[in-house]
Each structure stands twice: as C-alpha cells, then as structure tokens.
Amino acid sequence: MSDGKIIPGYRHQPGFHCASSAIRNVLAFRGIQVGEPAVIGLGRGPGFFHLLCDYPPSRLVHVRHTTLEENFFRTAGLKFQWRETEDAAEATRLAKASVARGLPVLIQTDIAFLPYFNTDQRFPGHAVVICGYDDDRDEFYVSDTLRPDMLAVATADMERARSGGFEPYVINNRFFVLEELSGFRIDEAVVQGAIRRWAEENLNGIPGLPFAYGVRSLEALIGGLPGWKDVADWEWSARFTYQVIERRGTGGAGFRTLYRQFLEEQEGRYPALQRMGLSKELAVIEGIYHDVAAVFRQISEGEAPDFSPATPVLEKLLEREQDFYRKILLEL
C-alpha cells in the first residue's frame, strides 16, 4: 500500500459494525472521541424488519435502523446530508477531491463488488471510509471495520461497489464528508431523547417506511413464518437470518449487545438512568436474540424445512420487547 497517499493523521481502528466504527474513526480523526456503543445508541441502531425479496435470500431479516448514520450525526448536533450522484466517475472525482483536502469520505458499498470479501452475496449499505488514493496505481485506500489494516481497492471495483444496490437499499454513490463540528453535543438530555425515540420507533414503527418496523414487523414475521418452508431457498433464508443477528457486524444479538453497553455507559454517568435499570432488562432481551439466532441456525442445518421451533422463541421476544419499550416511554 502506498502510505504517502493516505490522509495524514487518519487512523484505522477495527470495530464491530461497519457504520458505527466508520463514524467513530472519522470523529476521532477530527478530534472527537466517541465509542462505538455510543454511536449505536445515539444512532438508534437496534431495530427489526423483514422483507420478502426477489433475490436470495427470499426471506430477509434485518436488525439495524435504516438511517443509523443520519440519526447519530443529527442527534449529536452535527449537520448531516448524504450526497448522491448517478455518475460513478463523478463520485470518484469528488472522493479524491475530499481526500486531497484532508477529509475522509464516509461511503456505502455493496460487498459483492469489493474483491476482498470474495462473495457473490449482495449486501448493499456496507459502510467504509475512503482515506486515500493513488492515481498511478488507480486505486483507493479504505478503512473497513472488518479488517485489521487499511485496504487497497481498484478504482473500477470501488465504482461498481458504490453504484450497486436495489430497493430498498439503493446506495447510488452515496457519500458524506464531515465538514462542520460546531453544534456537537452529547449530554443527559440528548441521551434520554435518543433512548425515548428509539423505543417509540421500535414500538410504533417509523412513519414513511414502505414496510413495518420494530415489534409490528416482528408480529408479521411470526404470522408469516409457516410460509418460509415453501420457498426454494429456505435453508439460506434461515441461515442468513442467523448470520444477520449474530455475525454480520452486529456485535452479537442483533446490535442489542452494543446497545446494552451504551446503556451501561450512560447509567454510569446519569443517576436517573441508573435507577431505571434498563441495561439489566435489555440483557434479558439480548439473551433471547441469541436464542433466536441459534434456532434459525439449527433450522438451516435440518433435513426438512421445519420452522415451528422458532415461533415460541419469537413470541417470547415480542412480549419482552413490547414491555421494555412501553416501560421506557412511560418512565423516561
């Protein structure tokens, strides 16, 4: 790797989740120290929704808020707006211009077009940071949470990865450069407001989304789960559900582990939150998510498509999450 083309002072630090670690690294470069659990917490990261898709897996579960990046920056008082362009060459030019100014670029990609993933599984929305480039080698240098070091990606591959996507994950060369730091603020009011809004969205859904979100989506999943046995890719749908909850950058338990850590950190700062004991209650839900992941993994390894073992675990999760979100809205 040609280190001379990397933004001076930018430091890559691996993490658990692509977006939260990318945001943490960009903030650290600008002199603001915010841990990954706080990014997840203020970004209202843990969510739940499922989709019926025309691409594999045909039954797709996701456990992350659709706009975590926007949520975090705006909650912390920073200006945020994704910029997009349909012209891949223009996106490349703009990224290089930002790096030349000494500013890293937060982008979204589809991992199927990043060679170092070595996969054909489409997964758009994966966040990385462009922190350098080399015109002689015709490559970008990126900071990706899943890797211990910065990586070189050929410009052509980067353009394909940034232009990928499909509904509802159209990334369209999306990028963000943190220009202005004024207004940054994280205090008790900000934290409590973020927790309340997180509970509200997961309990009652998100207006404007073309699909159910939170406990409403979980209810729909429970009702439609018997039909999973009839799809041709039932094994991959079950396996992918396990992976999305436990392995694909969530920090475990569908982001609930990281959110519990966020709650513990804030309870250590603010006595009012400590008295509510939210982290202990979330730890129970965290355990149920581990159980959900385990049962879907077991189903994927079975000889026949029997999804019935998942229903009681999901019903238990639904009950605990509903009670938890209602408690937050009632007491906080």
CATH 3.90.70.30 boundaries in the chain: 3-33+80-176
208, amino acid identity: G
How high is the pLDDT of residue 142? Answer: 97
How high is the pLDDT of residue 86? Answer: 93
The torsion of the CA quartet 31, 32, 33, 35, rounded to 10 degrees, works out to -140
Domain 3-33+80-176 fold: Cathepsin B; Chain A (3.90.70)
The distance of Cα 229 from the centroid of its chain, to the nearest Å, equals 28
Q: Are 36 and 43 in contact (CB under 8 A)?
A: no
136, amino acid identity: D
Q: How many whole angstroms separate alpha carbon 301 and alpha carbon 234?
A: 11
How high is the pLDDT of residue 164? Answer: 72
The Cα-based distances of 285 to 215, 248, 268 in angstroms read 13, 19, 21
Low-confidence ranges of the chain (pLDDT < 70): 1-4, 166-168
pTM, entire model: 0.95
How high is the pLDDT of residue 121? Answer: 86
**For residue 199, which phi and psi values (nearest 5 degrees)?**
-65, -40
Q: How many residues does the chain have?
A: 332
For 287, residues 6+ apart whose C-beta sits below 8 A from its C-beta are 253
How high is the pLDDT of residue 1? Answer: 44
Q: Are 139 and 154 in contact (CB under 8 A)?
A: yes
Q: Give pLDDT tens digits for 34-48.
A: 999 999 999 999 999
Q: How many whole angstroms separate alpha carbon 194 and alpha carbon 199?
A: 9
Q: How many whole angstroms separate alpha carbon 53 and alpha carbon 89?
A: 30
